Structure 1
């Protein structure tokens, strides 16, 4: 839960607009039923670029959208660190006790990576058409407040049977539990005064969308929440302020209608003036998600400077002006003056005797201009590619460790082994298979997003990169075949037709091929990404 130094009895005029909450950044993905793999890939990309949260809308009456809780469970299984949340759950079609247990179960499975966005159900006719209750807007607000109390009781492990008799929900002796792994926050999608009052009294967060709530109206709505919180004996800072945002990167004016620097400035200002601390990007464009990661880093730096009392005008827009000036004043001699991002070299020693890439035929792009200087946000674009690749390199090392664990178990298996030892061995093989399959999908997802989005933009921005990009795409196909070889070796190990040596050989080939490819891609693209601004 959120902790704050504000006291409930302070006046609203005395408190600062910034509630001091930790900054959180995430994505709001469309759960389109016609392309489930792409939705999962975008969720993985959210994690890869360093964002914190993946959310999806919940409209159970809409067959063109996937079921939110099923999708979030799969997303959680295909990621390691990002939190997941509904944005927002449709209460009329989600019975409160069952919803509470769904949230707690997924939170336990993920080790505390679930939050609950909750709404009263705005499409009343659609809810009724699908067997839900037919309620007025006012009744929907009443029902939500009752449901919120029930959900929290289910999550409270101690006490007898739950007995809450309301106008819309009656719970008579329901058993408690399970308790979630952490204190799950409940964020309400609220726009009207009555719902804003409920948010202030009992919710952990307020989750509006910029499309319906532009920045200029936030102050008045925040005031309603704050007043309701104080009247309920709470600090206004107990309510996290979230914001679903949409916009366009590029040239232009208005809210979130310009370059990354403009986004940084505007979102940092919202944090300091309105207390907004969680920004969730509504976009299914991989390029937008990558750029939003740059924005997140800039906003964090700008807000940290403001909170620390830094008042120099040069701290605006995450300190980009200062850093750019420093780079411009650096000496112009040397091989990489002004460009501090260093591509990762390929390993000097190969593991496999097989070589599927002819590295001598790799084309090269334009040479680095040693006199050119780069702003920090430009350097960040190139660094993002290395960061994603480092994640893949780390996962590859984990696969190798798992192979050796299986090998150690295999050495102890013999004819005299009991059936239970054999089953343990099979479980080891299955665990490895699931992990490798997930990793193969991760690599394929990374390459698919590059092929579909990043590479075409690079070709357009600098035709001199065309031969390099074409070669990279060719290597993606080769790596796909190498990944298939790992899958085949896993199948052979599990069904007994192969052995650990065959799996080791397949992983050795993957190691050589993938690490060589990642190194080549960084060597050729890290500087163009910074120079062209297309990451």
Structure 2
């Protein structure tokens, strides 16, 4: 097996920066290749604890307090930030990290967080229009040669004679991740702009169908399908015995049977076997959604029992 494993967190459920720092450092020390976080401003169930943290603010801090692990969002909503300032913000965090940042970007879907914080929430078609234009602006700014200027004649985000600064330090700019189950626009945007396509919380079979659709679009558009990394995101719950598994499921308010059915839950060997089903349909990377950020022993068990079995 050659599947790359990353840790994926949901801080809007109630986590401080210090909580995220502890998980990011543990993830780095244990050998996971990435620490990613959602970009949400409102909890989904529960009370949200101490309240949300801003994704790119926390990633900037983590960029200075880690040294090797990849950092990013899965995913930033295009409704939250204007593309020019977002390009500057992400490029700045990339500089702060020494070139370890990735940008997951999506159209946005959670209306309640928009109304809770005064963020406009256009209809779905317009959100995709805005996402498409944001991708054109961000990649255009990053791809403009030093000393040149960038302009974009857009409906939502017109840009005139931008100096296109600041620049990421990674060659080719910050890798962009696009995901989702859309049949037409999502695969097209991924092929045009992304380094990675992500199938989130789908079965292995459903993920395989999404991967195949993206590969087909890439072939038609003249892009080498192998140049697009394919990834999945799955909730994880690992325990060496049934009591530990049940305790960890209970801690996040989830039914263990449901987690076994719809996620990567079970003994280390069970989880490794489930990962092989995603690898078989083309997944090269899996984001492990860890919901209890206080249980650092869980990360250690995943690393020792699952990650160590991967070459």
Higher relative contact order (CA 8 A, sep 6+): 2
The yes-or-no answer on 1:289 pairing with 2:277 is no
Give the Cα–Cα distance (whole angstroms) in 1 for the partners of residues 271 and 297 of structure 2. Answer: 15
The 3-state SS of whatever aligns with 2:121 is: coil
8 Å contact 1:24–1:52 — kept in the other structure? yes
Q: SS state of the match for residue 87, structure 1? A: strand
Q: TM-score, normalised to structure 1's length?
A: 0.49
Aligned positions of 1:389-408 closer than 5 A: none
Output the CA distance in 2 between the equivalents of 1:136 and 1:238: 32
SS of the equivalent of 2:53 reads coil
Structure 2 contact 36–73 (Cα < 8 Å) conserved: yes
Aligned mate of 2:107, from 98, 105, 120 = 120
1:277 counterpart residue number: 284
- Structure 2 residue runs of 5 or longer lacking an equivalent are 243-256
Q: Distance in 1 between matches of 2:151 and 2:53?
A: 33
Secondary structure at the counterpart of residue 55 of structure 1: strand
Instruction: Tell me which of 139, 150, 167 is aligned to 1:152.
Output: 139
Aligned to 2:187: 196
Greater displacement, 118-127 / 65-74: 118-127
Residue in 2 that maps onto 1:243: 232
- Tell me the TM-score normalized by structure 2: 0.81
Q: 1:59 aligns with which of 40, 43, 57?
A: 40
1:207 is paired with a residue of what secondary structure?
strand
**Per-residue CA distance 1:52-81 (angstroms, 9 max, x = gap):** 111111124668210111111112222111
Of Structure 1 and Structure 2, the greater strand share is in 2
Look up the match of 1:475. none
CA contact under 8 A between 1:28 and 1:281: conserved in structure 2? yes
Aligned to 1:39: 20
Structure 1's 35 and 152: CA in aligned 2 closer, same or farther, altered over 3 A? closer
Query: Counterpart in 2 of 1:230?
Result: 219
Is 1:281–1:292's contact at 8 Å kept on the other side of the alignment? no
1:203-218 superposed matches below 5 A:
203-210=194-201, 213-218=202-207
Q: Where does the alignment leave 5 or more consecutive residues of structure 1 unmatched?
A: 1-17, 302-535
For 2:10 and 2:301, locate their aligned partners in 1 and report how far apart those are by CA, in whole Å: 18
**C-alpha distance after superposition, 1:301-354 (max 9, x if no partner):** 2xxxxxxxxxxxxxxxxxxxxxxxxxxxxxxxxxxxxxxxxxxxxxxxxxxxxx
The alignment partner of 1:223 has SS state of: helix
The alpha-carbon deviation at position 291 of structure 1 amounts to 2.2
C-alpha deviation, 1:275, in angstroms: 1.8
**2:248 matches 1:268:** no
Quick one: structure 1 residues 125 and 169, their matched pair in 2 at CA, closer, same or farther if it must change by over 3 Å? farther
Displacement after TM superposition at 1:244 (Å): 1.7
Offset, 1:129: 5.7
Query: How far apart are residue 131 of structure 1 and its match?
Result: 4.1
Kept in 2: contact 1:190–1:199 (CA 8 A): no
Deviation at 1:128, TM superposition (A): 5.6
Taking structure 1 as reference, are residues 36 and 207 closer, same or farther at Cα in structure 2, changes over 3 Å only? Answer: same
Q: Structure 1 pair 133/160, CA: closer, same or farther in 2 (3 Å)?
A: farther
C-alpha contact 2:76 2:105 (8 A) present in aligned 1:
yes
- Alignment size in residue pairs: 277
Larger Rg: 1
Partner of 2:67: 80
**Of 75, 79, 88, which aligns to 1:92?**
79
**Structure-2 change in CA distance of 1:124 and 1:230 (3 Å):** farther
Shift of 1:23: 4.1
Structure 1 residue 135, shift from structure 2 partner: 1.8
> In 2 relative to 1, CA 76–208 (structure 1 residues): closer, same or farther, beyond 3 Å?
same
Q: After TM superposition, give the deviation of residue 197 of structure 1 in Å.
A: 3.1
Cα root mean square deviation, aligned:
2.3
Distance 2:158 2:42 in 1: 24
